[in-house]
């Protein structure tokens, strides 16, 4: 949100429109010109324009050899003009600060982003993954509850993780566990199954409900939740029954723990509380499900399951006593298990090791390897679905000797598709996002031809300033560009005849992820712009200033192989235009009808106006803002991109001849969090529009705005 006054309110207070003679500030801003020929001895010498250089008659005489400047010959002054462009210095890192272009020096580093908010009750840090500052409440004991000195009625003892507003009141311990000012009040509870002596005793397979309310973290294990110091645990004592059909036969014990909105780990121990006696430990980072196994256990043995949750809550523990079996031998590539085509295979992921590399980042468990045979070249689809557990299978097809990944998929609803596999033996592996049992089915089909846009070598050409629909339903995850592994991708050849400002826009179906990148002709991993690629929900975009002339590949991918929309916008590179004060409607900067690239800084602006999409509860003074004006003589597509801005931006567009009474255009207010910053792609009719550059929840600083005015 911006300031506390709306545009209409400012108008009623007497803020006039541009050119109005009754602007009260004119009384302070106007100066009286001295009489001709009269020199004021106190007058300051004229300011030197640092962008002007030596004499010239043509642009070629004005190259300063710095990559971050625009050099040209000012025909009127017949002198070289050099305009620095900070955006040409920007790297892909946020936390190392905003790079700047210094005249006659080049790109220079700025101070790192400290994120310091001068609040002793927050822990401030710069987070590169989100490209934003994080101001976490101070929480010394790590129990998820901020100190009572900072947030009233929360954690009344920030040195003890067992005390806080999120804790249950424990009966009979004579202290205020839940920080409500009362001790042992009605509704207090006693911990259940908290220690070995009070463990839940069972002797049969089944599902058991346990609670970690009022418990403590008593026991260690080789795996645990993210913050063990503030965790809770309970214990299950399991007397192992005799084997099915043979009371003397060894048994294997499977234990699975699930929580609703929590993180969980489970360890199996021969001696309760002794981590050295551990037989198995299951945990996946931040996962609400954990699974472990003990093999070849003699009947009558008592094992202990220590179930740990990050916060107080309920856990469902499933215990399954099964006939003993050896550990799967199809670890890694040495001995993959052979599977038949069109015959489902059950994959149980409990204690598999992580032996094989994969680009599919969602794989958190170990993997098991399998192989199948083809009598002739075929298209192959490998279907994988979850039978037990809440995780998603991750399937990877490997090359003939299993050392290199060929395809991978981590989609819950899309099979791995590989076109035109040769006759012979093929190997694939199965992992998962959480420990699960999965059903895997390999099917083969007659071979089909790959579409031209599935390869960077055969990529069809795309013209600048083109928007097209890209059907990815028949594509493979074949483009190994290092961007969005497992996504079904298409490539297009983009040729730039001159240095250009490029903006790529990708749109994907609702609730689905996609990616976008600009690569060299080979589509080698690592894009040539920004962070290499943009990945996430629609819309995604990649922006580049003054991209050198040459041959490029635009790669667009979609998670499920649906139809994506791709826009490739390119114009001859233009120098930045600096927007001055532009603090109110009366001083609004007028944008050229053709658009351009503009920079400004709200640090010294006032908080004048509100924005419809800003955060509730922001500071009363609002965010500092600046106003731009755009006049359209006819209907146009106007694309506005704030990539490169140094703070969380808000871009708001209103329409109306008079700024103070202009109406917010529907769908034309965008909060730019993280690396994306604000972005609008609008079809606007003829008229006058007011663009408000604002900060989310009070933020301010340097900003960039790329405006492209195109046919509708």
Q: What is the DSSP string of 31-84?
A: -PPPPTT---TTPPPPPP-TTEEEE-SSGGGG--S-TTEEEEEETTTTEEEEEE
User: Which residue shows structure tokens 């006939």?
Assistant: 323
- 13-59 per-position pLDDT tens digit: 333 333 333 333 232 222 233 344 444 544 555 567 889 999 999 99
Strand ranges across the sheet with 416-421 = 345-348, 437-445, 378-388, 416-421
The pLDDT of residue 243 is: 66
What is the average per-residue pLDDT within 242-256?
82
DSSP letter, residue 677: -
- 462-520 per-position pLDDT tens digit: 999 999 999 999 899 888 888 888 889 999 999 999 999 999 999 999 988 899 999 99
The pLDDT of residue 43 is: 53
Q: Which of 32-36, 636-640, 670-674 has the highest mean pLDDT?
A: 636-640
Tokens coding 620 = 């009363």
**Pairing relation of β-strands 79-84 and 278-282?**
unpaired
Collapsing DSSP states into helix, strand and coil, what is residue 27?
helix
**Is the pLDDT score of 215 beyond 70?**
yes
Nearest CA among 696, 691, 686 for reference residue 647: 696
Identify the weakest region by mean pLDDT among 116-120, 264-268, 506-510, 653-657: 116-120
**Is the pLDDT score of 148 beyond 60?**
yes
The pLDDT of residue 342 is: 96
Q: Say how many residues make up the chain.
A: 712
The pLDDT of residue 13 is: 35
Contacts of 300 (CB under 8 A, 6+ apart): 239, 240, 242
- Structural contact between residues 97 and 110, judged by C-beta atoms closer than 8 angstroms: yes
The pLDDT of residue 14 is: 37
- Structural contact between residues 254 and 207, judged by C-beta atoms closer than 8 angstroms: no
Q: Please tell me the distance from the alpha carbon of residue 483 to that of residue 558, in angstroms, as a whole number.
A: 11
- 351-377 per-position pLDDT tens digit: 898 889 888 888 889 999 999 999 999
Q: Please tell me the distance from the alpha carbon of residue 269 to that of residue 307, in angstroms, as a whole number.
A: 11
Q: Please tell me the distance from the alpha carbon of residue 668 to that of residue 647, in angstroms, as a whole number.
A: 19
The pLDDT of residue 619 is: 62
The pLDDT of residue 621 is: 60
The pLDDT of residue 244 is: 61
Phi, psi of 395 (to 5 degrees): -110, 135
The pLDDT of residue 616 is: 67
- 392-434 per-position pLDDT tens digit: 999 999 988 888 889 999 888 899 999 999 999 999 999 999 8
The pLDDT of residue 154 is: 87
- 615-634 per-position pLDDT tens digit: 766 666 678 999 999 999 99
- 60-79 per-position pLDDT tens digit: 999 999 999 999 999 999 99
Q: Please tell me the distance from the alpha carbon of residue 450 to that of residue 402, in angstroms, as a whole number.
A: 24
What is the average per-residue pLDDT within 327-343?
92
Tokens coding 641 = 């991109």
User: Which residue shows structure tokens 């596999």?
Assistant: 421
The pLDDT of residue 58 is: 93
Q: How confident is the model at residue 705 (pLDDT cuts 50, 70, 90)?
A: very high
């Amino acid at each position: 949100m911006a300031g506390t006054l709306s545009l209409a309110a400012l108008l009623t207070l007497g803020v006039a429109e541009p050119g109005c003679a009754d602007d009260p500030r004119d009384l302070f801003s106007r100066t009286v010109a001295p009489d001709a020929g009269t020199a004021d001895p106190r007058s300051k010498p004229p300011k030197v324009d640092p962008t002007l250089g030596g004499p010239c008659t043509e642009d070629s005489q004005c190259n300063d050899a710095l990559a971050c400047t625009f050099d040209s010959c000012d025909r009127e002054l017949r002198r070289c003009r050099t305009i620095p462009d900070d955006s040409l210095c920007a790297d892909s890192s946020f936390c190392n600060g905003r790079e700047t272009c210094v005249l006659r020096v080049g790109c220079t580093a700025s101070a790192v982003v400290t994120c310091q908010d001068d609040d002793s009750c927050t822990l401030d840090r710069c987070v590169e993954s989100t490209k934003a500052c994080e101001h976490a409440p101070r929480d010394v004991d790590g129990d998820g509850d901020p100190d009572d000195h900072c947030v009233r009625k929360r954690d009344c003892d920030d040195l003890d993780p067992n005390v806080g507003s999120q804790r249950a009141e424990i009966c009979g311990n004579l202290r205020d566990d839940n920080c409500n000012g009362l001790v042992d009040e009605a509704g207090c509870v006693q911990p259940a199954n908290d220690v070995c002596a009070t463990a839940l005793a069972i002797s049969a397979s089944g599902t058991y409900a346990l609670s970690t309310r009022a418990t403590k973290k008593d026991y260690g294990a080789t795996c645990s939740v993210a913050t063990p110091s503030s965790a809770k645990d309970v214990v299950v004592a399991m007397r192992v029954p005799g084997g099915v059909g043979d009371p003397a036969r060894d048994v294997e014990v499977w234990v699975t723990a699930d929580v609703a909105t929590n993180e969980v780990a489970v360890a199996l121990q021969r001696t309760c509380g002794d981590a050295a006696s551990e037989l198995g430990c299951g945990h996946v980072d931040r996962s609400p499900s954990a699974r472990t196994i003990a093999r070849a256990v003699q009947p009558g043995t008592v094992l202990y399951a220590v179930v740990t949750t990050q916060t107080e809550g309920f856990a469902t523990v499933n215990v399954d006593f099964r006939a003993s079996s050896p550990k799967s031998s199809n670890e890694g590539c040495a001995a993959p298990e052979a599977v038949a085509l069109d015959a489902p295979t059950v994959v149980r992921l409990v204690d598999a090791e992580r032996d094989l590399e994969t680009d599919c980042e969602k794989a958190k468990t170990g993997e098991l390897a399998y192989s199948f045979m083809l009598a002739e070249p075929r298209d192959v689809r490998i279907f994988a679905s979850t039978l037990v557990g809440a995780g998603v299978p991750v399937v990877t097809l490997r090359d003939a000797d299993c050392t290199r990944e060929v395809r991978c998929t981590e989609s819950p609803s899309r099979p791995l598709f590989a076109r035109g596999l040769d006759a012979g033996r093929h190997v694939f592996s199965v992992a998962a996002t959480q420990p699960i049992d999965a059903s895997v089915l390999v099917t083969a089909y007659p071979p089909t031809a790959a579409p031209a846009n599935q390869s960077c070598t055969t990529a069809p050409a795309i013209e600048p300033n083109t928007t097209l629909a890209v059907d990815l339903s028949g594509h493979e995850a074949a483009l190994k560009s290092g961007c969005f592994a497992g996504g079904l991708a298409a490539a297009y050849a983009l040729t730039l005849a001159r240095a250009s400002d490029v903006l790529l826009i990708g749109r994907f179906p609702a609730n689905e992820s996609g990616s976008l990148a600009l690569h060299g002709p080979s589509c080698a991993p690592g894009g040539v712009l920004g962070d290499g690629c943009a990945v996430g929900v629609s819309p995604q975009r990649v922006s580049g200033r003054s991209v050198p002339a040459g041959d490029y590949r635009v790669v667009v991918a979609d998670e499920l192989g649906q139809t994506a929309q791709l826009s490739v916008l390119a114009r001859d590179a233009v120098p930045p235009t600096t927007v001055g004060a532009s603090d109110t409607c009366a001083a609004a900067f007028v944008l050229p009808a053709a658009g351009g690239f503009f920079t400004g800084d709200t640090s010294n602006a006032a908080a004048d106006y509100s924005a419809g999409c800003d955060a509730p509860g922001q500071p009363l003074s609002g965010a500092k803002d600046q106003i731009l004006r755009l006049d359209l003589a006819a209907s146009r597509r106007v694309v506005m991109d704030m990539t490169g801005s140094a703070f969380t931006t808000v871009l708001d567009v209103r329409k109306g001849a008079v700024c103070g009474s202009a109406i917010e255009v529907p769908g034309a207010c965008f909060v730019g969090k993280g690396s994306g910053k604000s972005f609008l792609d609008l079809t606007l009719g003829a008229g006058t529009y007011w663009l408000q550059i604002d900060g989310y929840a009070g933020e301010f600083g340097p900003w960039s705005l790329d405006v492209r005015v195109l046919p509708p």
